Amino acid sequence: MKGWLAMLLLLPTVAVWANGDPVAVHSALTLSPTPMAVHVPEVQLIDEVVYFTPRGRYMEVTVRYLLHNRSSRTFDSLPYGFPIDYWGQGDTHWAYIDDIFESQMEKGWRDSYIRNVSFRLGDRELPWRCSKDTLLLPPKPYLSEAFFDTTSPEGRREFDSLYAIYGDSVYSYTHEISRRWYYTYLHLPANSFATLEVRYSAECTLKQGLYARDNSLTANTWYMLFMYDFTPASYWGDGHADRFNVELDASDIVPRARYTLQSSIDTGDILPMQRSESVWRYSATRFDLAAAKPFVLAYNLKGPMPQPLDRLLNHRISPNRYTVDLSGADRRYPAANLSDLDLATATVLKPDKDDSLHITLRFPKPTAVKALLLVNGYTKNADTWQANSRIDSLTVLATTPYYTYFDYETGKMDTTANEDWRSYLRLLGGYDNVRPLPVKYPHGEPHGYDIQSLIDNALIITLGNIYSNTHVSEIKIYIAATAKGTRHDDLCISEILLIE
């Protein structure tokens, strides 16, 4: 069984990102990876709101609790622990569920699986420390001798040949789950209310990186999987949240009627979330936290996942392998700015004599191009981005004389001529050709102006995939409409990256 369903069936309910709870003093002092929870009946959980926001391969989580210390006792330094889970074991990780494939093994290459952790009590930021990681779910064997008839010479040779090639990776793949506890201390005066807010981002993708396997930007068919456990918060008060709310921002999720939300409170019952445009909400009163089943979300993103910048740039086509022509070129903002990897510079386009705005990329000889990334606007900072005009919609046309593909019968790459030399590049990892109509630029203002954030926000136009390479002699980008800047009409583009 493959895909997210197999993952759901194989994972126990403990392997989820979870609410936090009060913990024993000794657990906090020793930064225990397996702390002891402590029931605090004096402090009632009046209100819990959980926000889930997919951001590329990460899920941003914000949990906000309203706590009421109903007693005359002051909790001056109440130890509090919050667990965050992740796929893998930090310094080693198998990248795939369905393939015998060994990923990067260098220590520290997965240091970014948890990020942006913060705790806030009222208006005060709380310091925190974290435990060492502990393995909740060890790797599962991918293959064993039970899959082969090793009693026969042929079966033994088949298994031994696989083991000779892949070694121990024959036995391991991505089902290991690790947990890390984050510790802080809460000050809860007697007879008082306090708002505790926990924020973090955790990677929840089942596909580890653009170039982990197929060297292609087009493969975005793998499901993201996120799970969350509400039960640890039952250690507050009487184990119930007087008011309980969950909110999911689904604006970047491909809607799927049957299994976008696999969230159960009672066995077999779907969490009855109400949808309002792109936001899903659930509300309840006197919510029994101890009886809650894990919230499980299996989904696919509308666009390709943001990818590690270094791996992306290692597949960049050098600008000396093609030329760039602009309509209405401005010598102060030359075409070279499109390929200088400096997102503080930009190229300015102006209409030509036919009142057309376009960019043409030409190759001296047909070149395999898998993707084009376009960074929209003048991205020096938020002010220049808003002040100048940007692309609102465009059409991209490629001239593709031939393409190469993998021939399964011969086991080799083969070449075939493209009968239609002019084909439309595919947008956002889709497998259907874009119609010859303007395509609206899908992203608004970037989340940040560092190079990783800007690349994550880029328009990705793809051509080719794991099975074939399209060889391109010319790419034309026609700008159909612009989004006007607040102060200037200059149409700015900061960068175009071609990926092979």
Residues 264 and 341 occupy one common structural domain: no
Residues 267 and 370 occupy one common structural domain: no
- The pLDDT mean for the chain works out to 75
The string of pLDDT tens digits covering residues 433-481 is: 444 456 667 667 888 888 878 887 787 776 655 455 678 888 888 888 8
End position of a domain, from candidates 306, 322, 351? 306
Pick from 88-102, 285-299, 314-328: least confident: 88-102
Residue with the two structure tokens 């979870």? 18
Residues 339 and 483 occupy one common structural domain: yes
Greater pLDDT, 233 or 293 = 233
In this prediction, residue 10 carries a pLDDT of 40
pTM for the model stands at 0.63
Pick from 85-94, 324-333, 388-397: least confident: 85-94
Residues 130 and 44 occupy one common structural domain: yes
Q: Cβ neighbours of residue 254 under 8 Å, at least 6 residues apart?
A: 299, 300, 301, 302
End position of a domain, from candidates 306, 323, 356? 306
Domain that holds residue 133: 3-140+175-306
Phi, psi torsion values for 67, nearest 5 degrees: -105, 140
Confidence of residue 58 (pLDDT cuts 50, 70, 90): confident
Q: Domain tally for the chain?
A: 2
Residues 283 and 323 occupy one common structural domain: no
Amino acid found at 265: I
d(CA 425, CA 434): 7
- CATH number of the domain at 434, please: 2.60.120.260
The string of pLDDT tens digits covering residues 224-254 is: 777 788 989 999 999 999 999 999 998 877 7
Cβ atoms of residues 495 and 417 within 8 Å: no
d(CA 198, CA 62): 6
Greater pLDDT, 290 or 314 = 290
Look at residue 150 and tell me if it is in a domain: no
> DSSP states of 28-40 as a string?
HHTT-SSPPB--B
E-strand stretches of 265-389: 274-276, 279-288, 295-299, 323-326, 347-349, 357-368, 371-376
